[in-house]
Structure 1
Amino acid sequence: MSVQIYMKILAAVLFVAIATLGAYSMDAAFWISGHLPTAKSAVDTLETIHVAEYDSGKRSPIAFGEIKNPDNAYARIKLRFRVESTEGYPNLFQTAPVNLGMRMEISGSTAAIVVRDLAEPSGVKGLTLTTELKTGQWYELEIEALNGGFIRALLNSHPVFNYAGASLSMDTSQLLVGGGFDASRAFRGQIEDISVIKGNLPRLPHQRLLVVYVLLAVLITFFFFVLWKALGEYSAVQRVVGKLALLVFPLILMLGYIEYRLSFVNTLYYAKRVALEQQLNEIEVLVTGSSNGLYGVAPEAFSHKGFNLAFPAHEMYSDAKLVEKYLEKMPHLRMVVLTVNYSTMGGDDRNDTNNSWRHSFLRQYFGIPTELAAERPLDWEFWLNAHNFSRIALYGDDTKAYIQTDFLTPVDIITSSSGWYNGGDVDDPSAIFGVNAAAAHNILGDVRNYDRNLRNWETLMSLLQQKNIAAVIVLPPTDVSYHRLLDKAKIELMNRKLTEFANRHHIKFVDYTHDARFSLNDFTWEMPDHINARGAMKFSRILDEEVIKAQW
């Protein structure tokens, strides 16, 4: 066999290797990390403080302490406010006096966030919240900030801005609500349902991704060289390939660098995988589910080491596949808590275009194929859809924005090191959200999906039983404004199906939907089927007492 034939075979092998490594770069990086010495598990130092109200003239601005270490200092402030007077530049809150930290200042009908930014000539950056502020009107505000990272804001549940920059350098020596800058600029009005989450976030490690991308660059270089040698008998073609390689290689390097940086941008999927894999040897209780479980179950309240692996809009199929993927890697796992709800039981995500982007994130960051792909003997569509393996395709038009902010802008929500999303302690002030949510879920939920979704748990049940790991199905609490309007026939059928499934597999099923221990004060203002932080801690302690401790 001639040298050229050997070279052609080698070029084909290299091409397959490059395509495979590129498509599964995330799994490769975590595999390498798992076989090399790793840093200690990243743990946050977040604490949540809740205060019922502030009323100017009746009490002084409320002090929430400080964040002693400014490195990766993080604050999320969630509250409702009503302005009585806008004279004298009143401040709603601050993280430090004058212009050293972050504060919200009001001037006439304009409300803005003022934050210390070393890149600005004046040393401060102004970010407008609204130019149509009205006195006497209630507003809902959520501000989230990470030192050296980003600031983002929601007003009345609508995103206002998401600003990122390494030059953000806010002092966190004096967190106040009801004042800011100095004593002369105290807020004049009412503030209710004040929730402050503060502390330090751990830095996300890069999980040996650099090793993977350097290896890819080496393989690509070697591929072009081998291909060039393989075409030695075709000198004209060889020259074209050589010139093409010189032209294309810089572009490949640039795209590879962008893919590399996007790989560890702050997204819930990457951050959760990092946290999960750092704690695999310690986890005793694993929680799965959709956003109800993500908001509602805080492993911090468990008597045994737990981790929350729930994700927004997660389907029951994905819950099962994630547990199956990690089952062999958790030697101390004793219990899996499968949270489920009216929406996920009746949902069919196989053709859900609204959440298809979530499937791509789950595939890229956890290597979980979609339900449709898993049903095929050969996943022939994988290579036809770049969203399955390219971060540039996954982030689409937002890629440019991430490049411009040096990849500092967070993609979605930020959870604790246990995987729980702290939704703050703000109450739901109105039952109207329950009416709307119930109506939407009644329309979308299809009883024909009940059996199909439960079938996705069959293999998992067998695997858990083989390992003597307990499983429990849990329906989390919902507010009466929501559950009283759900389709009663669908609810009855759902509960019967869940009971039959639990009995068949000899596992526990607990329904907390109508639990009288929960009231409107335990739910978020956006979603009455999602528990706020206060409700989550209450629910998690109940789970621990009534479900988890029984396993030990």
Structure 2
Amino acid sequence: MDHEGRTFLLRSALFLLPLLLLFVYTESFLRNIPSTYGIKKSALERQLKDIEVLALGASHTFFGVDPALFSRKGFNLADQSQSFFYDNALVKKYAKEMPQLRCVLLDASYFSLGYELHDSPEVWRDYFYYNIWGVRHPELTLDSRAYSYLMLYTSQSALGYLLHGAPSWSELDETGWYRVDVGSPVTTVRGKERVAYHSGLIREENYAKNMEYLREMLSMLKGRGVGVGIVSPPTNEAYYQFLDPSVERKNEALFGGLCQAYGCLRFDYSRDGRFTALELFRDNDHLNALGAEKFSTILDKEVLPKICHE
């Protein structure tokens, strides 16, 4: 190689080296910042041997169920946009390590049976389940987001975290519950928009998939002597007045069939008259901390005694 060639390689190396070091530093930084997934995983694994009640589901349970108010040791394993595939996968992964598990609360929202995280606008969450929980959706493409946290968080978010710090998720406590005290206004306009968004998440082909996930989970839990309550959390009238009755009837028929086959019980609080006050909601279809306190107390009194097996 002549002198010019060596000079070019040297200059290229000097140019690329800082970029490589920056990438390595950023990747390491992002892998070590807290996320709800990582925090929940660590908290769950510290308490596996003692948990008696496990709450599963998406954001309605994530924000709306505080296991600290249960008379039994509980843990909230729900997360934002979590679908039945992940509920089932996480139960399969950990049930054998939970000798005290007596009952499971399963979130059943309006759109749950027709919804899959994998084909939703929040498909990026699949990669957090893969990277942190070690759970892979069967249709997940292992692209750069499966191997690089920089690709997963995106360069824009990474830069923001580097400059201003990452979120601490201090509202997420040891029981897995995420506390929210304030939120957006509850209005009929927003309620109609939320129902339209949720209706848009429903895919006909997802019903069969979700029923299979639920059958597998319910069969396994029944075999372990674990009781299950399929629970619809409270929503505000500004939300539920716009729900499609045909979707609701289909939901009830399918959930009813599951409970008949596997011995689970169905509890629908979505229109419960005890949750009319606006100060109980963070938005049209999610409870805030005050609402979560009330709902969790009701669950402890009305649901757990019926499903928790000794």
**Normalised TM-score (structure 1):** 0.50
* Structure 2: gaps (5+ residues): 1-9
Identity among equivalent positions (%) equals: 31
Does structure 1 retain, via aligned residues, the 8 Å contact 2:171–2:180?
no
Distance 2:135 2:215 in 1: 17
Aligned length: 295
| 1:90-101 correspondence runs (5 A) | none
Cα distance in 2 for partners of 1:466, 1:250 equals 57
Cα shift readout 1:436-482 (whole Å, capped 9, x = no counterpart): 21233234334543232121122222221222111221111111221
Partner deviation per Cα, 1:409-439 (whole Å, 9 max, x = no partner): 2176841221111121669553332222123
Question: Which residue, 378, 383, 386 being the options, matches 2:144?
Answer: 386
Pick from 295, 301, 304 the counterpart of residue 545 of structure 1: 301
Which residue number in structure 2 is paired with residue 198 of structure 1?
none
Counterpart Cα distance in 2 of 1:522 and 1:505: 37
Instruction: Kindly report which structure 2 residues correspond to 1:357-436, keeping only aligned pairs within 5 A, or say none.
Output: 357-373=124-140, 381-382=141-142, 385-397=143-155, 398-405=157-164, 408-410=165-167, 414-424=171-181, 428-436=185-193
Q: Does the CA-based 8 Å contact 1:267-1:413 persist in structure 2?
A: no
Quick one: which of 38, 42, 47 aligns to 1:270?
38
Partners of 1:392 and 1:426 in 2: how far apart? 30
CA shift in 2, pair 1:486/1:335, >3 Å: same
Structure 1 counterpart of 2:242, from 480, 485, 499: 485
Q: 1:455 aligns with which of 187, 191, 212?
A: 212
Which one of 243, 257, 260 corresponds to residue 28 of structure 2? Answer: 260
> Is the 2:64–2:286 Cα contact (8 Å) retained in structure 1?
yes
Once the two structures are overlaid, the 10-residue window that deviates more, 446-455 or 420-429, is: 420-429
Aligned mates of 2:91, 2:203 — CA distance in 1? 25
Q: CA-to-partner distance for each residue in 1:303-329, whole Å, 9 max, x for gaps?
A: 011111111111111111111111122
1:535 counterpart residue number: 291
Change (3 A) 1:305 1:265: same
Query: Amino acid of the residue matched to residue 543 of structure 1?
Result: L
CA RMSD of aligned residues (A): 2.6
Quote the offset at 1:254 in angstroms.
5.9
Superposed displacement of residue 360, structure 1 = 0.9
8 Å contact kept, 1:298–1:537: yes
SS in 1 for 2:231: strand
State the Cα distance separating 1:344 from its structure 2 match: 2.1
1:294 and 2:71 equivalent?
no
Residues 285 and 307 of structure 1 are in contact (CA less than 8 Å); yes or no, is this contact kept in structure 2? Answer: yes
Report what 1:495 is aligned to.
Answer: 252
Report the CA distance shift for 1:371/1:542 in structure 2 as closer, same or farther (over 3 A).
Answer: farther
Flag the 1:393–1:444 CA change in 2: closer, same or farther, 3 A: closer
| Matched residue type, 1:472 | G
Q: 1:468 aligns with which of 206, 225, 241?
A: 225
Q: Structure 1's 300 and 490: CA in aligned 2 closer, same or farther, altered over 3 A?
A: same
Change (3 A) 1:523 1:454: farther
> Residues 187 and 284 of structure 2 are in contact (CA less than 8 Å); yes or no, is this contact kept in structure 1?
no
Q: How much does 1:371 deviate?
A: 4.0
Structure number having the greater helix percentage? 2
Shift of 1:287: 0.6
Structure 1: 5+ residue stretches without partners: 1-242, 374-380
Q: Taking CA–CA contacts closer than 8 Å with sequence separation of 6 or more, which of the two structures ends up with the larger relative contact order? A: 2
Give the TM-score of the pair, scaled to structure 2.
0.86
